[in-house]
Amino acid sequence: MSSATDSDSPQQASGIAPEVNFAYLDERTKRMIRRAILKAVAIPGYQVPFGSREMPLPYGWGTGGIQVTAAVIGPADRLKVIDQGSDDTVNAVNIRRFFERTTGVRTTTDTREATLIQTRHRIPEKPLSEGQILIYQVPVPEPMQRLEPRESETRTLHGLAEYGLMHVKLYEDIARYGHIATTYDYPVLVNDRYIMSPSPIPKFDNPKMDRNPALQLFGAGREKRIYAVPPYTRVASLGFEDHPFEIQRWSAVCALCGANDSFLDEMITDDAGTRLHVCSDSDYCKTRRDGPEQQEHAQ
């Protein structure tokens, strides 16, 4: 995308803010977050409370994701930040710049090249591999919060695996719309034990979580919760026997790269209501447009 993001340039090291610790958080805070992450990895899908810190950006902008990234990032990492699949939206650009300035690590827009990917609302289209870490920004970690506002009660329900309530929501969808109308933040069952909110990713991305070779970490800053899905963990989307889980389909293909297998955003291009569909994952779309030979060249 923009020239600032492909930052292999050596002069970037001089851009590091000297007055703050590596990755902004102090070492004791990072250790505390790592302990929470270890516990979260040990109990897939379980929400681990942690002492969320004030970050230099507002709640709702990814304070949980940033803290998780800050706790796991090292000088040798290569960071990619996406927002709604795109590398060049405000949230992604700001978080990427934040880590460029506080760590000096190299950043990238290429999904395959990245060792850490912080994401808001999408999972990249290109398959992830072992050794990569996908970090989600989570606004509401508790999947049952809308139906059961008491946290003491939802914790008990998780503890005893009483998940009848979760299907009430899906039942309501079918009763009202004739099909399961939940399209994002679609609840999943992790490792056949805990029901988990996958953060507001489209349900199109839910199957990618299942037995993914990458480590998936989830950080909710305001709600002070961290949870995780370790590599190759079973993640099943809920459904009814006669109304099983289904992903979105489009009648259109991407207007830029022609992809028919990616998540498409619908864009209105003029006041007359002309519309086109484009890939929400900007890196995937760009790679397809550049073609394989250009991709080789870029590396």
Which CB, 99 or 186, lies closer to other proteins?
Answer: 186
Which CB, 19 or 242, lies closer to other proteins?
Answer: 242
d(CA 189, CA 198): 10
Known catalytic residue at 159: no
Known catalytic residue at 45: yes
- Name the phi and psi angles at 216, rounded to 5: -115, 120
Distant-in-sequence, close-in-space partners of 27: CB < 8 Å, separation ≥ 6: 21
Token pair of 253, please?
């293909």
Which CB, 242 or 293, lies closer to other proteins?
Answer: 242
Token pair of 169, please?
């929501």
Known catalytic residue at 85: no
- List the catalytic residue out of 60, 159, 257, 291: 257
- List the catalytic residue out of 45, 62, 64, 221: 45
Considering the complex, what minimum distance in angstroms separates the CB of residue 172 from other proteins?
5
- List the catalytic residue out of 60, 131, 285, 291: 285
Known catalytic residue at 15: no
Considering the complex, what minimum distance in angstroms separates the CB of residue 179 from other proteins?
10
Considering the complex, what minimum distance in angstroms separates the CB of residue 174 from other proteins?
6
- List the catalytic residue out of 164, 221, 254, 273: 254
d(CA 219, CA 118): 10
Considering the complex, what minimum distance in angstroms separates the CB of residue 85 from other proteins?
32
Considering the complex, what minimum distance in angstroms separates the CB of residue 50 from other proteins?
26
d(CA 202, CA 247): 9
Which CB, 241 or 270, lies closer to other proteins?
Answer: 241
What are residue 135's DSSP bridge partners? 118, 217
- Name the phi and psi angles at 103, rounded to 5: -125, -30
Tell me which residues touch other proteins (CB under 8 A).
Answer: 147, 156, 160, 162-165, 167-168, 171-172, 174-176, 239-243
Distant-in-sequence, close-in-space partners of 127: CB < 8 Å, separation ≥ 6: 208, 213
Measured between its terminal Cα atoms, the distance across the chain in Å is 15
DSSP characters for 135-196? Answer: EEE-S---TTTTT---HHHHHHHHHTT--HHHHHHHHHHHHHHSS----BS--EEETTTEEE
Which CB, 169 or 289, lies closer to other proteins?
Answer: 169
Known catalytic residue at 51: no
Q: Which residues form the catalytic set?
A: 45, 254, 257, 279, 285
